[in-house]
Chains A and B, each alone.
Chain A
Amino acid sequence: MKLNTERLTRTVVQKVDKQKVATYARKTKKIATYISYYLLLLSLSFVFLYPLLYMISQSLMRPQDVADATIQWIPKVFALENYAIAFGAIDYWKGLLNSIWISFGSAILQILSCSFIGYGFARYKFPGKSLWMALLVFTFLVPPQTIVVPLYIFFSDLGWINTLFPFIVPALFGFGLKGALFVLIFIQFYSGLPKVLEEAARIDGAGAFRTYWMIMFPLARPAMIVVFLFSVVWNWNDVFQPNMYLLLPEFFNLAQNLATFNGNASVQGMSQAQQTVSTQAAMSMTPTLLNQIMAAVILMILPIVILYLFVQRSFVESIERSGISGE
């Protein structure tokens, strides 16, 4: 009897202990995974943020700060001299205005046109649809440089060089920078919407365009935000197209001004090996110039970073709701 009870209590105690140990182990494991998970995220975030932080710190340094070995990241005085020089060198206000015209004009027109086209592709089955869809993907594959010569001749015959038209008119027809991609985004979005809405609108007597404009287009807000942000950013940073169609300095946008800052900045047709050599050459440049360039880069990306901060939340949410699931 006695032996039995003893054994019983022993096993019970052991069981309790085992359970405790198990829960502790689970808890520590959970905490460990959390910590490692956040460490991973933070280190990746650091890699993303590093160039930005480097630029900011470099742009604030004066020559004496660069020469000072004790200063690694934070200069003793936040000097804005570099910004003042860069501001003039890239002709900021004029460039900013030109950039805004090009990128916001393109973005708004691309939203209107790509949404319209995407809705047609998503909701209608017409003969030849698959052919046009295939051509849509095809246009995405054609590098813009392939058709650059005829397009240039075409636009210059129309007298559109040094105007906004070469940017705005293609955007109006769902082309422009990465237009095909934006159309595909809208197709994807509209395909995910329930058909009931349109059916109700049609039964109530709205025509096809009215249904689209009153019901469907406003629903596409998430897709709109994504397209808007991409379009603005890509147009903002694009140098290729502006270099083609804007030849007079007074029409230059910020990206072009930045590229020409410090003379021959955009070295073209170089191999990777040559590029590293030029990088080393740039590294050994007079340090002040480097800091001015950094200031110029920051000045250039500042407007879109501000825009991004504003739309960031809704942008991220837009990606969450890639479609209204179910009915």
Chain B
Amino acid sequence: MKGKQVRLSMKTRHNMEGYAFVSLWIIGFFFFMAIPLGRSFIYSLNELTPTSAGLQATFVGLMNYREAFTTDIHFLPLLIETLTSMLTQVPLILIFAMFSAILLNREMIGRTFFRGIFFLPVIIASGAALRKLLEQGVTQLPIFNQYGLYNQLSNFIPEVVLEPLLEYADALTLVMWDSGVQILIFLAGLQTISPALYEAAKIDGATSWETFWKITFPLLMPMIFVNTLYSIVNSFTKPDNGVMNHLLNVVFRSNDYAYGSAIGWLYFLFIFIIIGFVFLIFRKRLSI
């Protein structure tokens, strides 16, 4: 009887302690996430007119949401553009990051030096500095414009094919600059793979190609998942993202809070659906 009571109270105490640690986040969640999200949803259903007594709200239902798809000429094209750039960039980022992480994971001279360089983009390529560089066109490698390489190539390749190719090459630089964090995550994943596995594979006569597909790739699956999530969210919330900037324009230039909130919610739902897809795709893979 007594023992049971003690065990119960142990369990309760354990739960209490757990909540004591997590409660900090729960409070934050209500103040900085749940309540603002709810409020922005309520705003999006209203028409807000600034008066001397603050914002005056009149209920209009889904009008703002309809407006996004009918009267707003920018929203849908920007959304589609965001989606396409995500779909092209994220796979490239993942492939490049994995490639780099495997390169950097090898024992070699000057490894720390190379790692330092590969993480530089994390330091520089975010926010204001990146935007400035984009404006100046620094992110594009000049090799194609200098040295007349473009003209040289256009002799061999028709321009219809060449233009997208060159754009792709430019995008590749941006992709490289965007994959700093992903390289880190993959590296951390590679560190956790036990060397014994590789030794066993080597003894069994596996080529490095086979080793990659049979050992490295499956064991990196959780990291691939995390990186996919991270890359998608990152590409949707980049400082040069069209939808984001459009939203800010609506809110702060035309002071249309209600409509801005509606766009924000639509965008959030859009991201949520895409992330849901990713979860579905990885669900089968991760439940090994």
Task: Spell out A's residues near B (CB within 8 Å).
Answer: 37-38, 40-41, 44-45, 47-52, 54-55, 113, 116-117, 119-121, 123-127, 129, 132, 135-136, 139-151, 153-154, 170, 172-175, 179, 181, 183, 208-209, 212, 226, 230, 233-234, 236-240, 254-256, 258-259, 265-272, 275, 278-280, 282-283, 290, 293-294, 296-297, 300-301, 304-305, 308, 312-313, 315-316, 319-323, 325
Asked if B240 is at the interface of the complex by the 8 Å CB criterion, the answer is yes
Q: Are B268 and A312 in contact (CB under 8 A)?
A: no
The chain A residue sitting closest to B28, CB to CB, is: A173
Inter-chain contacts of A41 with B (CB < 8 A): 103, 114
CB-contact partner of B116 in A172, A181, A267, A316, under 8 A: A316
Is B217 interfacial (CB 8 A cutoff)?
A: no
Cα-based distance from A296 to B108 in the complex (angstroms)? 37
Q: Which B residues touch A297, using CB under 8 A?
A: 129, 132-133
B22 contacts A270, C-beta separation under 8 Å: no
Are A173 and B31 also in contact (CB < 8 A) when A116-B21, A145-B248, A271-B242 are?
yes
Cβ-defined contact, A301 with B103, below 8 A: no
A216 smallest CB distance to B (angstroms) = 11
Contact of A54 among B122, B138, B184 (CB under 8 A): B138
Report whether B21 and A239 are in contact in the complex, using a CB–CB cutoff of 8 Å: no
Cβ-based interface call for B197 (8 A): no
Please name 18 further chain A to chain B contacts, defined as beta carbons within 8 Å, in addition to the given A55-B138, A282-B135, A293-B136, sorted by A numbering. Answer: A38-B108, A117-B25, A123-B18, A139-B29, A140-B229, A140-B233, A142-B33, A143-B267, A143-B271, A149-B251, A150-B39, A150-B43, A154-B35, A181-B230, A254-B128, A271-B242, A296-B132, A297-B129
Say whether, besides A41-B114, A50-B141, A283-B137, A116 and B40 are in contact (CB < 8 Å).
no
| Nearest CB in chain B: distance from A41 CB, A | 5
Within the complex, which residue of B85, B114, B133, B187 is in contact with A45, where a contact is CB–CB below 8 Å?
Answer: B114
Given A271-B242, A301-B123, A319-B184, answer yes or no on A237-B128 (Cβ-Cβ < 8 Å).
Answer: yes
Chain B residues in 8 Å Cβ range of A120: 18-22, 25
**In angstroms, how far is the closest chain B Cβ from the Cβ of A277?**
11
Stretch of B61-69, B74-82, B158-166 with 4 or more beta carbons under 8 angstroms from chain A: B74-82
CB contacts (< 8 Å) of A319 on chain B: these are 184, 187-188, 191
- Find out whether the CB atom of B124 lies under 8 angstroms from the CB atom of A301: yes
The answer, yes or no, to whether B37 is at the interface (CB within 8 Å) is yes
By Cβ-Cβ distance, the 5 closest A-B pairs, closest first, are A120-B21, A173-B28, A124-B18, A237-B127, A146-B264
Q: 24 interchain pairs (CB within 8 A)?
A: A41-B114, A47-B141, A51-B139, A117-B22, A124-B14, A124-B21, A129-B18, A129-B22, A140-B233, A142-B33, A142-B37, A146-B264, A149-B264, A150-B37, A150-B261, A234-B127, A237-B130, A240-B248, A254-B128, A259-B128, A270-B245, A271-B242, A316-B119, A319-B187
Q: Which residues of chain B in 234-288 are interfacial with respect to chain A, using CB atoms and an 8 Å cutoff? A: 236-237, 239-240, 242, 244-249, 251, 257, 260-261, 264-265, 267-268, 271-272, 275
A265 in contact with B135 (CB, 8 Å)? yes
**B218 close to chain A: CB less than 8 A:** no
* Distance (whole angstroms) from the CB of A48 to the closest CB of chain B: 5
Which residue of chain B has the shortest Cβ distance to A211 in the bound complex?
A: B17
Bound together, the chains give a CA A241 to CA B261 distance in angstroms of 17
Known contacts A45-B114, A49-B117, A269-B246; A147/B264 CB under 8 A: yes
Classify the interface of chain B: helix, strand, loop or mixed: helix
How many chain B residues have a CB neighbour from A under 8 Å? Answer: 94
How many residue pairs at the A-B interface have CB separations less than 8 Å?
Answer: 277
**Cα of A55 to Cα of B233 in the assembled complex, Å:** 29
Given contacts A143-B236, A272-B85, A297-B132, contact A51 B22 (CB under 8 A): no
Produce 1/0 per residue, B30-62, CB < 8 A to A. 011101110110010000000000010000000
Chain B proximity of A154: nearest CB distance (Å)? 7
A151's partner among B36, B74, B191 (CB-CB below 8 A) is B36
A contacts with B: majority SS: helix
Q: Mark B162-191, 1 if CB is under 8 A from A, else 0.
A: 000000000001001100010010011001
Q: Is B126 an interface residue (CB 8 A)?
A: yes
A282 touches B137 (CB 8 A): yes
B218 CB to nearest chain A CB (Å): 19
Instruction: Point out the residues of chain A lying under 8 angstroms from B24, CB to CB.
Output: 113, 116-117, 173-174
- B residues in contact with A323, CB < 8 Å: 192
* CB atoms of B127 and A154 under 8 A apart: no
A124 with B15: CB separation less than 8 A: yes
Instruction: Let me know if A48 and B177 touch, CB within 8 A.
Output: yes
CB <8 Å contact, A258 and B129: yes
CB distance from A207 to the nearest CB of B (A): 9
CB distance A258 to B132 under 8 Å? yes
Q: Is the CB of A145 within 8 A of B264?
A: yes
Q: Which B residues lie within 8 Å of A254 (CB)?
A: 128
Contacts of A259 in B (CB 8 A): 128, 131-132
> Cβ of A144 and Cβ of B249 under 8 Å apart?
no
